[in-house]
Structure formats: structure tokens, C-alpha cells
Amino acid sequence: MSYYKRHIFFCTNLRAEDADRPSCGRCGSAALREFAKQRVKELGIAGKGGVRVNTSGCLDRCEEGPVAVVYPEGTWYTYIDEEDVEEIVCSHLRDGVEVERLKI
């Protein structure tokens, strides 16, 4: 059995403003990752046998960002705000139901 039931990685890569590609870090991804981490703790699903929320460098889906990916399913999401992240946390991370409207 895996150490975590689910593991979500939020791209927080931050490129220069004049970069050729967009940057998840310029879309508030670090703050939204922190929001997800706090919610997972509040829901009591963090840690061994539960959920881990991590920061990631570039996941190379910059034009679709900001992005996060959930393993072991390998489900890719884009999101805009805390409401979207709350839905990912409660529906997918807690209940195991992918959020179709946010999938890439």
C-alpha cells in the first residue's frame, strides 16, 4: 500500500514577467496550494494513509494553468480560486470523485 492515499502537486513555478510562456506562480498558485493544505488538515485527511499537498516546480502545462495533478489517478486540474480548490479537496481528495469541470 502507498504511504499516501492521494498526493496532489501544485505547480508554483514563477517565471519573469517577460517570459515566453505563462507562469502558474503568477496566478496565485502558491496561496491556493496553502489553502488546500490547510483545508486537508481541517478535514482530518492529511498525513500517512491520507492526503499530502505539495509544491511542484514547472509541470510543463503552462498554457493550461494554473495546474495541479493528483496521484495515483494522474488527474490534471486547472483552477481559478479557493472555490475551485475547495471542490478538488472535498470531492477528489476526500471523497475520491474527480471534478469533471476542472479537469484538463
The 10s digit of each residue's pLDDT in 16-43 is 999 999 999 999 999 999 999 999 999 9
Q: Whole-model pTM?
A: 0.95
Domain ranges of the chain: 6-102
pLDDT at 2: 85
Residues of the chain with pLDDT under 70: 1
pLDDT of residue 68: 98
How far apart CA 53 and CA 35 sit, in angstroms, is 10
Domain 6-102, CATH class in plain words: alpha beta
* Own/partner pairs, 86-91, CB within 8 angstroms, 24+ separation: 86/35, 86/39, 88/8, 88/36, 89/36, 89/39, 89/40, 89/43, 90/39, 90/43
Between the alpha carbon of residue 80 and those of residues 3, 26, 49, 50, the distances in Å are: 29, 12, 28, 25
Query: Partners of 51 in the beta sheet?
Result: 6, 46
Cell of 3: 504511504
